[in-house]
Structure 1
Amino acid sequence: MRRRLYPQVGAASHSHCRTSKMKTITRLLILFLSVSGICVFWGEEVLQYVLPQQQRSCACDRCLFENDTLAIQNISRFPQPLLSRKYNLSEEDFNWWKRLQPGGGSISDYRKKIEKVFQLIPDNPPLEASSPGYCRTCAVVGNSRNLLKSHYGPLIDFQDYVIRINKGRSEGFEADVGNRTTHRVMYPTSASQLDNTTHPVLFAFKMWDLGWITRVLSTQQSKKPLFNKDLVMVLNPAFMTNIHKVWLKRKGACPSTGFMALVLSLHICDEVHVFGFGADSDGNWSHYWEQITYKRLRTGRHPGKPLATGWSGFPFTLPHPR
C-alpha cells in the first residue's frame, strides 16, 4: 500500500508545480499587458500635450497669432510698430501723419530729423520674440476712474510688462493700479521724469515732437535726465496711420494714445490684460487721480464708439467692466 502512495504523491507534486508555473506565467502576462497598456495610454497623453506645445508660438493658454480672427489677420500685416533708422516711410503715410498737427514740413525734413534722433537713441529697439516655452504677459493700464477701489494693483504688477499711459500715476494709488512700470507711452511734450529702468515709448504726432526728442536728449548731460536714452522707443508713424485706417475706419482726428498702446501691446506680448479703460458714470473719460470740472467732456477729440468697438476682435483679458 505504501508503494502505491509514492507514485500518487509524485504525480500530485508534479501537477502542483505545473499549476504554479502556469499561474506565474499568467500573472507575468497580465502584468506585461497592464504595463504595456499604461505605457501606450501615457504615451498618447504626453504626445497630445508635448507635440502641440512644440508647434505653438507661446506657452500661454491661448497665443495671440494662433487666433484666426480678422483682427489678428489685420494686425499681422501691420508695419513694424517701433521706428528704426532704416524704415522707409511712404509719402502717403507721411502726409496723413503731417496733417495731425500744424507745423508742416516735407518728407525730406522728416528724414533729416529721424537721422538726428537715431544718433542719440538705439536703432531697432529689441522686442522679445515669442517662444514655445514662455508666455509673455502684458498689463496695459489706462487712466479711467473705473480703477478706483478695484484693488487690481497686485494683478497688474504680476505681469511681465506693465504699460502705462501719459501721466498715469502710481503714488497714492498702488492698491488699485500697482507700482511697477516697464513701458510708459506718452506724447513727448507731456513726458515726465522716469526711473532708469522704464522704457519711454514716445508717440510723436508732429515734426516738432521729433525736434523735441533731439533737444531733450542732447541737453540731458547738463541736467538731471528725464529718462534713460538707451531705452527710448519711438512709435512708427505708419503704425499710427494703419490703426486709423483699419481699426477706426478713419473716424476722428487720430487714434487715442490709449488705443494705440493696446495695439502696440499685441506686438510685445502673447497675452494682454487690460485695466482702466472706459467712461465714468457721467460718460466722461476722466482720470482716476483728478476730478474733472467740465462735465460734458465725453471722449474729447477721439471717436468714442469706434474706440470701444475697435478692439472687439482682439483676445484681450478685460477684468474690469468697461
Structure 2
Amino acid sequence: MATIRKRVLKLLTLLVLLIFLTSFFLNFSHTVVTSSWFPKQFVLGFSENLKRFMKYSHRPCTCSRVCVEQRRVSRWFDRRFNQSVQPLLTERNSLLGEDIYRWWLKLQGEKQPTDLNDTIKELFQVVPGNVDPFLEKKAMGCRRCAVVGNSGNLRNSWYGSQIDKHDFVLRMNKAPTIGFEADVGSKTTHHLVYPESFRELRENVSMILVPFKTLDLEWVVSATTGTGTISHTYIPVPAKIKVKPNKILIYHPAFIKYVFDSWLEGHGRYPSTGILSVILSLHICDEVDLYGFGADGKGNWHHYWENNPSAGAFRKTGVHDGDFESNVTSILASIDKIRIFKGR
C-alpha cells in the first residue's frame, strides 16, 4: 500500500511539473521560437525567460500592478526611494540629527524655539509614542492607498465610489467631503494638517500633524489637553480641537527633509502637504492612486470647493515648487508606481 502511495505521489509531482513547464513555455517562449530553431537558441532563450520569470515571481506584494517597493523597475525611483526612512515620529526615533534639526528650524524661521527634546517629551505624554499599527506593512498582501488632493479637477469627476474602495484614503488641509461625496468620496482614514490648515475631523479619522516648527508640536499639546494657550502662530489657529489624542500621529521632520532632498532635489522652500502625502503613501501602501492633483481642465489651479478659478496662486510664491512636484508625480506615473486620475 505504501509503495502504491509513493508511486501515485511521484506521478502527481511529475504531472504538476509538466503543467508548470507547459504553462511556462506558452507564456515565456515567444522570444525563443524562430524560423530556424537550434539548441543554443533554446538554451539562451530559456535562460532569459527564466530570469524574467524569477524577477516577477519574487514580488513584495500580491497586487496585480507593479508593487511600489519593487526594485529594478526604474533607476530613477531606486535612487530616491529609501524604505529605511521612517515617516512618523515616535519616542524611539525622536532624536533628530543636527543637520536635520537646523534645516527644520529654518522652515518657519522660529527665532526663539523651545527646547525640542522637552517639547517632544511633553508631546508623547499626551499622544501615543508608538507607530500606528495600521500603517505598518504586512509581510505580504496588497494595501491600496488613495491620496485625494484638493484640485478643482475633481468637480464632476464622479470618482467618489472609486476612492472609497481603497484601504487607506488620505486627505489634507481644509478639504471637505460633505456635499462633494459623488466626486471626492466620503471615506477618510488619515488627514494631514498643520495648525494653520486644521479642520475638525470625524471621530474615526486619524490626524497626521505635519510640523513645520516647534510651536506646531506645542499646539497639539495645548489644543488637546484643554489649556488652549496657543491660539495664534503667524495667523489665528484653533485654541482647542476635538480630535482624540490616540488618533493623532506626527509626520517626522526627518521624513520632510528626505522628501525635500531625495524627491524634490531642493526645489522650493519646503515640500507641500500634497507631495508629503504622496511620498508617505509610497512608504505605507503597495498601490497608490492620486486624485485631485494638478490644474483643472482649463488650466486653473483652485480648490474643488471654491468658485474662484484664480485660487491656489500660492504655487507661484516660491514656497512650494508646484511644477517640480507635479513633474515628480508624472514620472512616478510613467513608471507605474502610481496612477493619476485627472478628472473627466
Do Structure 1 and Structure 2 share a fold, with TM-score over 0.5?
A: yes
Change (3 A) 1:225 1:305: closer
Equivalent residue number for residue 19 of structure 2 = 42
CA separation of 1:158 and 1:60: change in aligned 2, threshold 3 A: same
Deviations along 1:174-232, one digit per CA (max 9) or x if unpaired, are 111000000001112322211221110000111111110110121189x9852121121
Aligned pairs, how many? Answer: 286
Q: Does residue 237 of structure 1 match 2:262?
A: no
Residue 318 (structure 1) aligned with residue 324 (structure 2): no
Mapping 1:278-289, distance limit 5 Å: 278-280=294-296, 283-289=299-305
Which of 183, 192, 200 in structure 2 is aligned with 1:193?
200
For residue 47 of structure 1, report the CA deviation from its aligned partner: 9.3
Deviates more, 1:200-209 or 1:278-287: 278-287
**CA spacing shift, 1:94–1:154, aligned 2, 3 Å:** same
| Structural RMSD (CA) | 3.1
Q: Does the 8 A contact of 2:300 with 2:309 survive in 1?
A: no
Task: Check 1:176–1:96 CA distance in 2 against 1; reply closer, same or farther (3 A cut).
Answer: same
Counterpart in the other structure of 1:174: 181
Task: Check conservation: 1:183, 1:199, Cα contact below 8 A.
Answer: yes
Tell me whether 1:303 sits opposite 2:303 in the alignment: no
Query: In the alignment, is the contact (CA less than 8 A) between 2:205 and 2:247 conserved in 1?
Result: yes
Rounded Cα–Cα distance in structure 1 between residues aligned with 2:242 and 2:18 = 60
Residue number in structure 2 paired with 1:271: 287
Sequence identity percentage: 35
Cα distance in structure 1, aligned partners of 2:275 and 2:58 = 31
Alpha-carbon distance between aligned partners in 1 of 2:187 and 2:83, rounded to the nearest angstrom: 31
Q: Deviations over 1:221-251 (max 9, x none)?
A: 9x98521211211011111112112222212
Question: 2:67 aligned with 1:63, yes or no?
Answer: yes
Give me the whole-angstrom Cα distance separating, in 1, the residues matched to 2:22 and 2:159.
Answer: 37
> What TM-score results when the alignment is normalised by the length of structure 1?
0.79
Classify the secondary structure of the residue corresponding to 1:274: strand
The 1:47–1:198 alpha-carbon spacing in structure 2 relative to 1, beyond 3 Å, is farther
Residue 117 of structure 1 aligns with which residue? 123
**Counterpart of 1:9?**
none
- Give the stretch that moved more between structures: 59-68 or 310-319: 310-319
Gaps of 5+ in 1: 1-33
Segments of 5+ residues of structure 2 without an aligned counterpart are: 1-10, 28-52, 229-238
Q: Is the 8 A contact 2:302 2:310 kept in 1?
A: no
The one of 78, 84, 90 equivalent to 2:97 is 90
The TM-score with structure 2 as length reference comes to 0.74
